Amino acid sequence: MNFDLTEEQQQIRTTLAEFAEREIKPHAARWDKEATFPRHIVAQLGELGFLGVAFPEKYGGGGADTLSQMLVVEGISRYDAGVGLACAAHMSLASGHIGLFASDDQRAHYLPGMLAARQLGAWCLTEPGSGSDAAAMSTKAVRAGDSYRIDGSKMFITNGGVAEVFVVMALTDGSAGRAGVSAFIVDRATPGLSNGRKIEKLGLHSSDTAEVIFDGVTVPVRNLIGAAGAGYQQTLKVLEGGRIGIAGFAIGIARGAMEDAAVYARERRQFGQAIADFQAIQWMFADMATRIEASWVLALRAAALKDRGQPFAREASMAKLFASETAMWTTTKAVQIHGGYGYVKEFAAERYMRDAKLSEIGEGTSEVQRMIIAKSLLRDGYMPA
């Protein structure tokens, strides 16, 4: 397995870092404090081609691979995880669902605008009463002639308050359980679609998170993605790929926190020397770097399997599980290295720590990832890579 980035991938990483240093890093603390979603930054990322990097060229994408898309999420999250999450949800979930399962006409209609970020996407699965148990959703879509009427609500939807295109999971057959879930494309301007209360979060303040309400939302049958009843299986596949993106999201947070802590440790002096000279501090950095590198290899393995068309669900869950817990551990140590300054908003350490927690929850909790991994091992056995 080749661990080296291609010239194209290295160019993506370099160009994105230059953009983020200039356009994101100087403003991240303010966006966090003011809970501001920087839509103009996402628009610029779209104009530069970053949000369509792994999609077919005929829709305006870059025709690159899964790793290239992960590099985009990782590179943004290194500076502002809220913006990174917004882009990950837009690319991996909303655009990704349409790219994988929509008809040619649906793709041609929606993907060009979404990949260029002229239209932002939101993926609507979680509800007030259903999260990890997606089959327990209560949002319904009832067919009447050539249309479906959607009623219900979705909760904790990334980009939910700012998106123009919604991919919505709803029950078309309430008696069929998981086999009764279908997926629809719903435009923002559709009557009956609205947002509920503002959701205040622990972290990721620059990411828009909203309740999305569907009150008699009527969409034509042509907005159904694939066949009726195929939505649950589509969702599983979308989440498998999305977890590679969340691994990149977590790696970016961990990397940003470690690099920020290293700057502080070299500058902060105690007992007449930089705290970076203390062995206790050095060991923290050694463990940080080792865990981040291991997370990277796991994510690289999952991305490679996906691009080869091989099963990758277990590897994606491993990458997401390990990277998210690495992010939480690393950011906690970064706060510790800062001491009292790590607990105040003057420094970025506490923001990284608050932002990291979502990676252990979103797109399947750590507990769900362990369930997926264990079931796969007990069913198929284990063969080391």
Supply the residues annotated as catalytic.
Answer: 363
Give the DSSP per-residue string, 179-240: GGEEEEEEETTSTTEEEEEEPP-SS-TTS-EEEEEEEEEEEEGGGEESSTT-HHHHHHHHHH
Per 3-state DSSP, the chain is made up of helix, strand and coil in percentages (nearest 5) of 60, 15, 25
Please name which of 241, 245, 139 lies closest in space to residue 186, comparing C-alpha atoms. Answer: 139
Residue 228, C-beta contacts closer than 8 angstroms, at least 6 positions apart: 172, 173, 182
Question: How long, in residues, is the chain?
Answer: 385
- The C-alpha atoms of residue 364 and residue 323 are separated, in whole angstroms, by 13
Query: For the chain, where are the alpha helices, taking DSSP H only?
Result: 7-23, 28-34, 39-47, 66-77, 81-88, 96-101, 104-115, 231-267, 279-307, 313-338, 349-356, 366-380
CB-CB contact of 12 with 53 (8 Å): yes
**Residue 163, number of CB atoms within 10 A of its CB:** 28
Handedness of CA 195, 94, 133, 137 (dihedral sign): positive
Please name which of 313, 292, 290 lies closest in space to residue 301, comparing C-alpha atoms. Answer: 313
- The C-alpha atoms of residue 309 and residue 313 are separated, in whole angstroms, by 12
Structure tokens at 220: 């034509």
Structure tokens at 227: 């066949």
* C-alpha count within 13 angstroms, C-beta hemisphere, residue 308: 10
Structure tokens at 360: 């252990």
Mapped onto helix, strand or coil, the DSSP state of residue 168 is: strand
Q: Which backbone phi and psi does 340 adopt, to 5 degrees?
A: -60, -35
